[in-house]
Amino acid sequence: MSDSEKRELIAEIQRQQNVLKALLDQEQSALTELAKRLWAQQESDKARLSRELHDGVGQLLTGLTRRLQTMAHTDPAVSELAEIAELALADVRQLSRLMSPTILDDLGLKPALNWLCRNLFEHEQITYSCEVDVQPDLPKDISILIFRVTQESLVNSIKHAHSSAVTVTVKQHFNMVMLNLIDNGKGFSRENITPGVGLASIEDRAKAFNADLNIHSSPEHGTRISLTIPL
Ligand SMILES: Nc1ncnc2c1ncn2[C@@H]1O[C@H](COP(=O)(O)OP(=O)(O)OP(=O)(O)O)[C@@H](O)[C@H]1O
Ligand SMILES: [Mg+2]
């Protein structure tokens, strides 16, 4: 084979490589779009369930609590029942809000994350700080991504880490948003854990947004989760 034939062959192989790469990129972005649509669907299913919980069981419990509270005036034994009904109502409300935080739509990311922290840490011996500094026009799907990653990570810190302090920070710089979640708990190493759905799910969500997710954790040194999302 002559030199010029070799050069042509190499050029042809490169052309074919480029075509293949373009096809792969197309497939990749189609998959990413599909994943995003799937999560959007999940979020709207959760919103529907959340409303049904609120308007169904929630309203029934509200009626029950009112009636028991009225009866408690004449029969003190009923006041205990009224308190139980009130607790059940508070639980249903909290579940409904965690499932679909309308506060995110109504007031934005900062109040929603503050509300999430207050709710999750209310009965825990954990001190926390939550600093959120983002533009008000942050896209809704990015807000949901940040909210869900924070929710999963904080629940993990409560469930697994036995930490005494947690910090949540969200900052926006030009065309990116950075989320940092730090706990001072017992940490973990990837080789020694039983994989759950939570971490895998936040990794998948991050990937779909081309976001950079880093989970730094080692036994006894706490856990730091950083998410950098391009806008
Ligand atoms: N902040 C943390 N501190 C200590 N260990 C953690 C922390 N986050 C996760 N882990 C460990 O990693 C494992 C996997 O976490 P992951 O969130 O994927 O699953 P899970 O919380 O066990 O279940 P779920 O599917 O409900 O989220 C946990 O079981 C736990 O051992
Ligand atoms: Mg989890």
**pLDDT tens-place string over residues 184-210:** 999 999 888 888 889 998 998 899 898
Whether the per-residue pLDDT at 112 is higher than 90: the answer is: yes
Mutate to test the pocket of ligand 1, among 124, 150, 156 (most ligand atoms within 8 A of CB): 156
Judgement on whether residues 134 and 217 belong to the same structural domain of the protein? yes
Judgement on whether residues 158 and 70 belong to the same structural domain of the protein? no
- Residue 174 phi/psi, 5° resolution? 45, -105
Sequence-ordered list of residues with C-beta below 8 angstroms from that of 127, at least 6 positions apart, any chain = 164, 165, 166
Judgement on whether residues 217 and 119 belong to the same structural domain of the protein? yes
Q: Is the CB of 186 under 6 A from ligand 1?
A: yes
Tell me the CB-side half-sphere exposure of residue 178, using CA atoms within 13 A: 9
**Adjacent-strand bridge partners of 133:** 171
Closest ligand 1 atom to Cα of 225: 1
Among 65, 100, 135, the domain-final residue is 100
Tokens standing for 34? 């599909």
pTM over 0.95: no
Tokens standing for 225? 């989760």
Mutate to test the pocket of ligand 1, among 124, 160, 183, 218 (most ligand atoms within 8 A of CB): 160
Residue span of the structural domain in which 225 resides: 101-231
